[in-house]
Chain A
Amino acid sequence: MTRTLTRGRRRGGAESRALDDVGGAHVMSWVIAIMLFLTLLSAAAGLATARAAGALDRQMAGRLTVQIVEGETQRRDAAAAQVLRVLRAQGDVARATPVPQADLARMLQPWLGTDAEAAGLPVPALIDVDLTSDAAAAIARVTVAVTRASPAARVDAHATWLGPVGRLLDTAAWLAGAIIILMLVATGAVVMLAARAGLEAHRGTIEVIHMLGATDRQVARLFQRRIAIDAGIGAVAGSVFAGAAILLIAREVGALDSQLLDEMRLGVADIGLLVAVPFGFVLLAVVAARLAVLRQMRRML
């Protein structure tokens, strides 16, 4: 008996084990594991996408490319130099950098071959421009100044052609957020149903404990403990599987050598947030169980 009581004390007393029969416990753990697995994947995808969208935003914000479309090389170079002077004189321009023709030739090589200019194919001159602000007025002023300097110059705002990609990434990040919220709501609902089912399954035990003078909070604590154990087991399992899946996907993404996908990396803050999710799940499960049990208990005398 002493051994039993000692064991009880270490675990928080036998009354805290009053609901520790195994019926249905593993089902709850599996539900939590699956929910958490999906939530962590959604959260990781959402955070990585949000990070990529942020990086894209930064790339697009106040960035222009000026093209000098001129078939004759000397005129093209002269116009490019003139445009570069005008750009560098503009107050709205923070930085104007000509793209070396060699880099351009390398970029066009897959389509035009190794010696496009020698073959008489017109290759434009490019100038990358960073503005001091991404305001539309600044872009308009720079565009006017550039076209005045050379009628052959065309101004492409990065936001114009990368905007749809950015919006897609934003949408994906919001969608991931919505999925996480839905998963949390679903988890809360599942836990509440499980707690109610548990209350029904343990009705006899609870009536006895109730008749022995246990308060509603004491009974709720029994369920909280039971649910916390089940949710904890589920959280560990779900986290391990989700972590493995995230690492696998990260490795595959890294192998793609894509500039955009390279930005889809989880930062320290993101990983901290993901680590907090399982704890949040267990907390949510415990709170949901407590609310469900207290509500049910109030129906008893």
Chain B
Amino acid sequence: MANIVQFENVGLRYGAGEETLCDVSFTLRSGQFYFLTGASGAGKTSLLKLLYLSQRPSRGIIRLFGEDAVILPRDRLPGFRRRIGVVFQDFRLIPHLSAADNIALPLRVAGMAESEIARAVREMLTWIGLSERAGARPATLSGGEQQRVAIARSVIARPELLVADEPTGNVDPVMAERLLHLFNSLHRLGTTVVMATHDWHLIERIPSAHHMHLERGRLVDAQWPDLPPPSPPPSPAAPPRSTTVRSGL
């Protein structure tokens, strides 16, 4: 299984402050599902920004799709970004475009023919259960519907890597499960998924997923918290998924 992302001793500093990320090293393998956890301010969003090329590291090496992303020339970044899907916590839908047009954006940016776009968007709307809301503007959609549109937009171009920053943070538990199901479906289709979340219940829903945990900008072994019933957590002493991921670092 090929490595899709490789971080080696990556550090990230904003301005003259302390390092937000410090000596972060890990490898993401193609077609795997990764959860990224950590307290607020631990550096999850910063790490995701490095993954979706919104930020360059202050130090270290990042290899993305087999190339050194740190020294990648600016004019090659769009091509790499088209291989990465991003789901933002705050959705970031374009307010005056319809749900369908928002979903179609990555394909239009990529220059796909309109007939193909129409077909792909139709399929995607069906997949997320919003066929009836195709022409609706984001402001008229519920939080869960907006998040589904954002997810559809991030995956319509079949990215090799999908980065999601707390995609279930603004939705109720039922919707969170549904969204997770969408991500898992993608993962099964071969997309590498990296999902930042605080929700340990979701993590246990995908037993095959790997787990990365950030504390104060450093990757550490995750401690499985005590979760309330009805889903008793596995043994906190030996979180199997985080062990798996550590072995891949």
Q: In the complex, what residue of chain B is closest to A13 when comparing beta carbons?
A: B108
* Docked complex Cα distance between A298 and B77 (Å): 12
| CB of B248 within 8 Å of the partner chain | no
From A138-146, A188-196, A208-216, A228-236, the one touching the partner chain is: A208-216
Q: Indicate if the CB atoms of B118 and A215 lie closer than 8 Å.
A: no
Given A18-B97, A21-B95, A212-B82, A2-B109 contact (CB < 8 Å): no
Task: Apart from A1-B121, A1-B135, list 14 A-B contacts with CB within 8 A.
Answer: A1-B98, A1-B118, A2-B122, A3-B135, A5-B100, A5-B104, A5-B118, A14-B97, A14-B108, A15-B105, A18-B94, A204-B92, A213-B80, A213-B81
Contact mask for chain A residues 215-230; partner B; CB cutoff 8 A; 1 contact, 0 none? 1001000000000000
Residue picked from B92, B98, B109, B110, most chain A C-beta under 10 Å? B109
Residue picked from B105, B106, B122, most chain A C-beta under 10 Å? B105
Q: Indicate if the CB atoms of B101 and A14 lie closer than 8 Å.
A: yes
* Docked complex Cα distance between A214 and B79 (Å): 9
Residue picked from A3, A14, A214, most chain B C-beta under 10 Å? A14
Given A1-B98, A213-B110, A301-B53, A14-B105 contact (CB < 8 Å): yes
Can you name 13 A-B pairs with beta carbons within 8 Å? A1-B98, A2-B122, A4-B98, A14-B97, A14-B98, A14-B105, A14-B108, A15-B105, A20-B96, A211-B81, A212-B82, A301-B56, A301-B74
Q: Which residues of A contact B105 (CB under 8 A)?
A: 14-15, 18, 208-209, 212
* Docked complex Cα distance between A94 and B104 (Å): 79
* Docked complex Cα distance between A40 and B160 (Å): 55
Which of B82, B86, B106, B122 lies in contact with A1, CB distance below 8 A?
B122
The A-contacting residues of B in range 66-103, CB under 8 angstroms, are 74-75, 77-82, 86, 92, 94-98, 100-101
| CB of B117 within 8 Å of the partner chain | yes
Q: Which residues of A contact B94 (CB under 8 A)?
A: 18, 205, 208
Which of A8, A204, A208 lies in contact with B101, CB distance below 8 A?
A8
* Docked complex Cα distance between A2 and B101 (Å): 10
Q: Indicate if the CB atoms of A15 and B109 lie closer than 8 Å.
A: yes
* Docked complex Cα distance between A17 and B79 (Å): 22
Interface size class of B (residues with CB under 8 A): 35 or more
Q: How far, in Å, is A19 (CB) from chain B's closest CB?
A: 9
* Docked complex Cα distance between A247 and B69 (Å): 63
Q: In the complex, what residue of chain A is closest to B81 when comparing beta carbons?
A: A213
Q: Indicate if the CB atoms of B78 and A214 lie closer than 8 Å.
A: yes
Q: Which residues of A contact B95 (CB under 8 A)?
A: 21
Given A1-B121, A213-B82, A15-B77 contact (CB < 8 Å): no
* Docked complex Cα distance between A214 and B92 (Å): 16
| Chain A residues within 8 Å of B, Cβ to Cβ | 1-6, 8-9, 13-15, 17-18, 20-21, 204-205, 207-215, 218, 298, 301
A-B pairs, top 5 by smallest CB distance, nearest first, are A1-B134, A213-B82, A14-B101, A213-B81, A1-B100
Q: Which residues of B contact A207 (CB under 8 A)?
A: 92
Q: How far, in Å, is A272 (CB) from chain B's closest CB?
A: 38
Q: Indicate if the CB atoms of A17 and B97 lie closer than 8 Å.
A: yes
Which of A4, A211, A213 lies in contact with B79, CB distance below 8 A?
A213
Q: Indicate if the CB atoms of B97 and A212 lie closer than 8 Å.
A: no
Given A5-B114, A17-B97, A301-B77, A212-B92 contact (CB < 8 Å): no
Q: Which residues of B contact A301 (CB under 8 A)?
A: 53-56, 74, 77
Q: Which residues of A contact B52 (CB under 8 A)?
A: 211
Q: Which residues of A contact B55 (CB under 8 A)?
A: 301
Q: Indicate if the CB atoms of A4 and B106 lie closer than 8 Å.
A: no
Q: In the complex, what residue of chain A is closest to B110 when comparing beta carbons?
A: A213
Q: Indicate if the CB atoms of A218 and B109 lie closer than 8 Å.
A: yes
| CB of B125 within 8 Å of the partner chain | yes
Q: How far, in Å, is A219 (CB) from chain B's closest CB?
A: 10
Q: How far, in Å, is A198 (CB) from chain B's closest CB?
A: 14
* Docked complex Cα distance between A9 and B110 (Å): 15
Q: In the complex, what residue of chain B is closest to A5 when comparing beta carbons?
A: B118
Residue picked from A204, A208, A218, most chain B C-beta under 10 Å? A208
* Docked complex Cα distance between A20 and B79 (Å): 26
Given A21-B95, A211-B52, A213-B110, A5-B101 contact (CB < 8 Å): yes
Q: How far, in Å, is B178 (CB) from chain A's closest CB?
A: 21
* Docked complex Cα distance between A208 and B105 (Å): 10
Q: In the complex, what residue of chain B is closest to A22 when comparing beta carbons?
A: B96
Q: How far, in Å, is A52 (CB) from chain B's closest CB?
A: 52
Q: Indicate if the CB atoms of B82 and A13 lie closer than 8 Å.
A: no
Q: Which residues of A contact B96 (CB under 8 A)?
A: 17, 20-21
* Docked complex Cα distance between A15 and B101 (Å): 8
Q: Indicate if the CB atoms of A4 and B101 lie closer than 8 Å.
A: yes
Given A208-B94, A213-B82, A301-B53, A1-B109 contact (CB < 8 Å): no
